[in-house]
Amino acid sequence: MTNHLKTLLATNPSAAKTLLLQDPATSSWMKQTLHDLHRRDPVDVLFELDILLNLFEAICDRLVGQTPAPHSRVRHVTDPAPTPTPPRPLDQFPAEIEIGGTLDRLLIPEFLSVLHGASVCLSFDDQLFTPQTEPDLLSAHDANRHLHFYNPFALEGEFLSLEDWLIDHQLGFRRTSTGTETYQAERVEFRKGLDGPQRMAIDPGGHDLILREELRTVFRYLKEGRPEDATTLLDRVMGVSLHPLPPFQIRDTVLHESDTLAELH
């Protein structure tokens, strides 16, 4: 169960149901069951699901040589609600981000302000980088002419406000986070023209990872004669092919576009 689904189940069960119905990884059996739910008494459904869960747990236990231990998970409506678990503290761990594309010169002050709030450095061991001018900003160019920033204590391994600003202004980036025991290391890519960023789990060496469960679902679709569902899921897992991150540059794009429109008139 993904964290996103857990959040929806806790805050908006209807949205969770919609998500499951639209997810190509959801089996046809579960989708049909979800469609039929509105015709059933919710309490009856809970008790019957509890029986099914105990039945299949018992079957699986016997297959692996264990003794079944059936027990009910259904709590009575009159039972007090469980004490909510306090939110866990947010983790901080190393992350780096490379930025490419064309930034309009008029946006430099706004971009610098966002950059200052992101607590970036020019290396993991360096002090905070707080550029004040265009030349200061361009001093962050790396060998590939990308702006390259680091944060050894990035909150959940993200540059959240900076990444949101880059997406809003259609500037490409590549963010890499090392991960922890509770956070999967990942690489997040965005390019101009995309609706949103593309995420890929990675190993310690930076190589792409695909979850075994997702591949199992693809194989199941193929065995069931559902190649279109298998292709849809593979497209979602693999992501779209991205062109290389372009060099970062600053131009007077707004003025240039205005002059072009004036010439057309």
Is the model's pLDDT at 255 over the cut of 70? no
pLDDT for 58 equals 86
Is the model's pLDDT at 222 over the cut of 60? yes
* DSSP count for the chain of H helices, then E strands: 10, 6
Enter the tokens of residue 171: 């500037």
The whole-angstrom separation of Cα 192 and Cα 186 is 20
- Using pLDDT thresholds of 50, 70 and 90, give the confidence band for residue 52: confident
- Using pLDDT thresholds of 50, 70 and 90, give the confidence band for residue 265: low
Burial degree of 250 (CB within 10 A; 0-12, 13-18, 19+): middle
Please state the pTM of the whole predicted model.
Answer: 0.61
The whole-angstrom separation of Cα 246 and Cα 171 is 10
The whole-angstrom separation of Cα 18 and Cα 2 is 15
pLDDT tens per residue, range 67-121: 888 888 776 655 566 677 776 667 899 999 999 999 999 999 999 999 999 999 9
Question: Do 228 and 81 contact (CB within 8 A), yes or no?
Answer: no
Instruction: Name which residue leads in pLDDT, 181 or 178.
Output: 178
- Helices of type H across 23-67: 28-36, 42-63
Residue 198 phi, psi dihedral angles, 5° rounding = -110, 125
Among residues 229, 243, 126, the alpha carbon closest in space to that of 193 is found at: 243
